[in-house]
Amino acid sequence: MQIPFSPPRIDQKTIDAVVDTLKSGWITTGPKTKLFEKQLAQYTGAPTVLCLNSATAGLELALRWFGVGKGDEVILPAYTYSATANVVLHCGATPVFVDVNKDDFNISIAEIAQYISAKTKVIMAVDFAGLPCDYSNINSLVNNDDVKSLFKPSSKNQKKLDRILVLSDAAHSIGGTYKGKRVGALADISVISFHAVKNLTTAEGGAMCFNLPEPFDNQEIYQALSVKALHGQNKDALAKTKPGSWKYDIIEPGYKYNMTDIAAAIGLVELERYDNDMLVKRKEICEFYNKYLLEYSWAQLPILENDIKDSSYHLYALRIREITEQQRDQIIALISEAGVAVNVHFIPVPMMSYYRSIGFDIADYPFAYDNYSREISLPVYYDLSLEQARYVCETVTEAVEKVLNKVEA
């Protein structure tokens, strides 16, 4: 049996939607993208949503909109994909990595509190594997009087918010819930990814969910960022095609981050069947893994839900107890030989060559390293049958026991 890691769900419905768009006479940002934005706002509960060509673009736009630059610090977990950190560097600001929780891989609130300084402008929280961070605690922290009194606003939007911005890297977590609210409505700005391997895909794409408090107007922010995401042009391509509407202005040196209607057409199909079909299937697979692996003492099962939160079941992040990084790699090699594709999420950012070259050291993030060194992500995707999931479990079990027994022998 050959089992891939996470192929996209593409069927006739997706293909028809793309073909319809190709034949419609409008293929870049237009009616499909606008409709997708409205439906995403409805689904997430965020007041407004802006679609873009990636989540990375959304994270960077959020930092730029808030006026983050040289001398500013952005707090983020060491345990994330490098995009979360790269955008901080693009803005000329300093990433301040903090360690993660031992149990759920998410950013440690206690660590955040320790690293807040007068330079901190943004906290980027990553909902690892789809499990929302503890947003009540993060939101209380940034609204705490002592923390607020440290904040030194240096841009119009920083003055208006008058505290640290909570920016959620929700690349994994669309559909996840926390205290009865959906991801998108939990932080000031949340950024979802529609990359090909993510839960809901448009091949490439992302969305910013705006949920800023008074006196901000989330509709106004949506307008401002639509302009920022399209050259700083005060009219989009669709508005310009109306006869007589040729004139436009550039009001700032903007970016080129817009989503195409071809991508949005895929997204609309995906969203329509996301809750009742995709999420149900993913949950079933993850719960099957949990149930099968529960009886093995070497298996440390991931948290999929608790009293206040529920995952989007993006990744099934298994950890093997008391093994080294080398043993983990041996286990993965055996699993791969049996035809099952697994992955590791993530190699912590401070371990990457570039980040090491600018002075970061994984030794400063012991939980991130421990989680990484023992982690194996099992396949989770729509077309994976429970029979295949059983084969994955058998393969993993055999590989782990082989490597563990070698040590004992």
Q: Which residues are near ligand PLP by CB under 6 A?
A: 54-56, 80-81, 83-84, 126, 169, 171-172, 193, 195, 206
Give whole-number Cα distances, 403 to 294, 326, 328, 409, in Å.
19, 10, 9, 10
User: 94-98 and 73-77 as β-strands: parallel, antiparallel, unpaired?
Assistant: parallel
CA 217 and chain centroid, separation: 25
Q: How far is the CB of 126 from ligand PLP (least distance, A)?
A: 5
Computed from CA positions of residues 206, 210, 211, 212, in that sequence, does the dihedral angle turn out positive or negative?
Answer: positive
Closer CB to ligand PLP, residue 206 or residue 323? 206
Q: Which two tokens stand for residue 13?
A: 């419905």
- Residue 175 to residue 169: CA distance in whole angstroms: 14
Active-site choice (198, 228, 283, 309): 198
CB of 140 to ligand PLP, least distance (A): 24
User: At closest approach, how far in Å is the CB of 78 from ligand PLP?
Assistant: 12
User: What is the distance, to the nearest Å, from the Cα of residue 210 to the centroid of all Cα atoms in its chain?
Assistant: 15
Our measurement of the distance from residue 172's CA atom to the centroid of its chain's CA atoms, rounded to an integer in Å, reads: 4
Strands annotated E in 263-373:
299-300, 309-310, 316-320
Residue 62 CB, nearest approach to ligand PLP (Å) = 12
Query: Closest distance between ligand PLP and the C-beta of residue 79, in Å?
Result: 9
- The nearest distance, CB 187 to ligand PLP, in angstroms, is 14
Nearest distance, CB of residue 322 and ligand PLP, angstroms: 27
Beta pairing, strands 189-193 & 165-169:
parallel
Residue nearer to ligand PLP on the CB measure, 107 or 320: 107
Q: What are the strands, taking DSSP E only, across 84-224?
A: 94-98, 120-126, 165-169, 177-178, 181-182, 189-193, 206-210
Q: What are the C-alpha distances in Å from 50 to residues 57, 87, 219, 248, 389?
A: 11, 18, 10, 21, 36
Q: Is 32 an annotated catalytic residue?
A: no
Neighbours of 284 (CB within 10 A): 15
One-letter amino acid for residue 38 of the chain? K
For ligand PLP, which is the closer residue by CB, 111 or 393? 111
Residue closer to ligand PLP (CB basis): 74 or 323 = 74
Q: Which is nearer to ligand PLP, 126 or 399 (CB)?
A: 126
Residue 287: CB partners within 8 Å, gap ≥ 6? 304
- Per DSSP, the residues of 220-274 read HHHHHHHHHTBTTBSS-HHHHHSTT-----B-S---B-BPPHHHHHHHHHHHHTI
Q: Which residues are catalytic?
A: 198
